[in-house]
Structure 1
Amino acid sequence: MTGLENPYLSVTVAISGVIISIIALHYNRKQTFAAEKSISIAQEGLKNGFIEQLRGAVDQLGNEKLEIRLGGIYALERISNESEKDYWPIMEILTAYVRMNSIIDKDGNKLNSEYISADARTDKRIRYSECDEDDPIVELLSIDVQAILTILGKHKRVYNSEEAKHLNLSYTYLGKAELEGAHLEGVNLEGAHLIKANLKRAHLEGTNLHRANLCHADLDKANLERANLKWAHIRGSLIEANLDRANLEGARLMVDLKGANLKRANLKWTRIKHSFFDGGANLEGADLEGAHLEWTCFEGANFKEVNLEEAQIIYPEYLSFDQLSKVKTLYNTKLDEYYIPLKKEYPALFENPHNNK
């Protein structure tokens, strides 16, 4: 059998062509493109007759003209819908494109892409102090990046041990992203800047939002069950959001959590200011050890079995004796003088909970 007749050689040549296209895209766009498109990933997804279409679509991603890049993006979406085997390799190509063209460094500075639209670009290094501003000016996403986010948000694949690699959008700039109702379960958004993003009713179960910037984002009715929000910055609306067992350790919050579910959430060492836990917010079993809560409204919130050990509660609004009587512990909790009588009425709450262990 000659080399040209060898089907494995043909597949290898095709795979190499796609890898070369990706490498060429890397140099054409003058950005760091991590070497994530390994031969094994490509080989898994290119054995089914879509080789030429996939190669052509990837080539289009490197074109200077927006309309051609969009054509490549939508071609990849079509192939992913028609070919089950190609789905994950294509999703990884699209997320790599976003990382390359909408990237920030780990200090939160956006690094300009060659093709970010001129009317959106302001400066090569953009500061991010949005959490301290009431209405910050936010750079718009490029059209092609938003198109990819819309595609990614449509997927309803279950992330389990057998199926998938979690999509990687870490340290990307996604300001004002339109992601209402998007399916982003399990996606890696570590360090992402989602300033003023629309995430209403988004599916963010198990999503990694470690150190993410969610200032002025709309997360009303979003599902963040078991999401990792450790050290995240959140200033915005989480009305009726589901944060059951979410990890918010060390997060900075200035949020509206009316009616939100924070049952069993980890809120250790969080800094919470000017926030609202009223309207039936459920904190049952939440861990607020060492948390700093200042000028926050708790009217009607459920405090059953909440751990407030070493927490600081400063100038609370509508926090009743009845609510505090239901907590797990108030050991070493800093409370206003108004609550001193609570110690006489419920002395057990102020005892060291570790003595009985």
Structure 2
Amino acid sequence: MDWARRIELFTVVVAAVVAVVGLWYSNVQTRQANEQARDDRALAKEGQITDRYTAAVGNLGEDKMDVRLGGIYALQRIMQDSHRDQPTIANVLATYIRTHAAKPPAKGQDVAADVQAAFTVLAARDTTRDGTFLLDLHGAKLPNVTLVLGDSEAALDKANLSGADLSRAYLPDAKLRGTSLSGTNLRDANLSGADLSRAFLPDAKLRDADLPDAKMRDAYLREADLRGADLSDANLLGADLFGADLNGADLSGADLRGADMVKGQTDSSITDSDTQLPWEPR
């Protein structure tokens, strides 16, 4: 091969190497630019969320009801947009309720609209994003509070509602599994179809409460006041009812197999042929 041919071939090889290196470098620059742009967008979004959060929390302290409501619903939207911020926002809303519902409403009045809204937002949240957050509404005065969530069920599992006033509350199909309701006032509450499995209800006031089809398996109901409660078709398998007052309670179709209670405790209750008592095996 003559020198001219060699030089030509060498030139072609060098040109190819330069082209490959150039393409690689261009790809690296493009990737870095895309990563930088992505980081910039993330920072911008984080800044926007921070600004939205600050504004929403600020609205919670305003005097006007409509401004406070706007702040609560703005926080709900942030929870939906930023999953990692949900535990913080949920804690803010729970604190808001405990603070603004520390005293019962004036006679003849229902729970304030902002407290009702915060309660609804918390009950409607996606609990899979809670992290270590546990809902704490102990002692909150929430008589007549209402939850209507369409196809969703109120998410109150493992919440601390001990000592709260939920009298006449409307909580059908609510999820209250493992929830602490020690001494809670649930008189005349509507808990039809609610799931109270393993709930802790010692000394709870459930007089005249509606609990048909409720799931109360392994619930702790020692010394609970269940006078006149509608427990028809309720699942009370393995429930601890020792000392509970069941005078006038409707136990038609209820399943109390394995329940901890004494014979004669249901003598003043309403039972039928479908009622399954712990001392009457089937």
TM range (shorter): 0.7 to 0.9
> Counterpart amino acid of 2:76?
E
Structure label with greater radius of gyration: 2
Q: How many residues align?
A: 230
Cα shift at 1:103: 1.1
> Counterpart amino acid of 2:259?
A
Does 1:190 find its partner at 2:162? yes
Q: Distance in 2 between matches of 1:295 and 1:250?
A: 16
Given that residues 226 and 245 in structure 1 are in contact (C-alpha distance below 8 angstroms), is that contact kept between their aligned partners in structure 2?
Answer: yes
Does 1:208 find its partner at 2:208? no
Aligned twin of 1:249: 222
Match of 1:252, SS state, is: coil
Which of the residues 88, 104, 121 maps onto 2:106?
121
4+ residue stretches of structure 1 with deviation over 6 A?
none
Cα shift at 1:294: 5.1
Cα shift at 1:249: 1.1
Aligned twin of 2:78: 79
Does 1:326 find its partner at 2:249? no
TM-score, normalising length: structure 2:
0.76
Which digits, 9 at most, give the CA deviation of each residue in 1:22-71, with x for residues without a partner? xxxxxxxxxxxxxxxxxxxxxxxxx9432222111111101000111111
Match of 2:186, SS state, is: strand
Aligned twin of 1:271: 245
Q: Aligned ranges for residues 1-357 of structure 1 at < 5 Å?
A: 48-49=46-47, 50-104=49-103, 110=104, 121-122=106-107, 139-158=109-128, 163-180=131-148, 181-235=153-207, 236-254=209-227, 255-278=229-252, 280-289=253-262, 292-293=265-266, 295-299=268-272, 300-303=274-277, 306=278, 324-326=279-281
Which digits, 9 at most, give the CA deviation of each residue in 1:309-331, with x for residues without a partner? xxxxxxxxxxxxxxx4439xxxx
Identity between Structure 1 and Structure 2 (%)? 33
Given that residues 87 and 129 in structure 2 are in contact (C-alpha distance below 8 angstroms), is that contact kept between their aligned partners in structure 1?
Answer: no
Which digits, 9 at most, give the CA deviation of each residue in 1:175-201, with x for residues without a partner? 111124311111111111111110111
Ranked by relative contact order (alpha carbons within 8 Å, sequence separation 6 or more), the top structure is 2
Given that residues 268 and 291 in structure 1 are in contact (C-alpha distance below 8 angstroms), is that contact kept between their aligned partners in structure 2?
Answer: no
Cα shift at 1:78: 0.8
In structure 2, relative to structure 1, the CA distance for the partners of 1:325 and 1:253 (3 Å cut) is closer
Q: Distance in 1 between matches of 2:226 and 2:129?
A: 28
Aligned twin of 2:32: none
> Counterpart amino acid of 1:326?
P
Given that residues 231 and 250 in structure 1 are in contact (C-alpha distance below 8 angstroms), is that contact kept between their aligned partners in structure 2?
Answer: yes
Cα shift at 1:213: 0.2
Structure 2 stretches of 5 or more lacking a match? Answer: 1-44
Given that residues 270 and 290 in structure 1 are in contact (C-alpha distance below 8 angstroms), is that contact kept between their aligned partners in structure 2?
Answer: no
Q: Distance in 1 between matches of 2:249 and 2:98?
A: 33
Cα shift at 1:147: 0.7
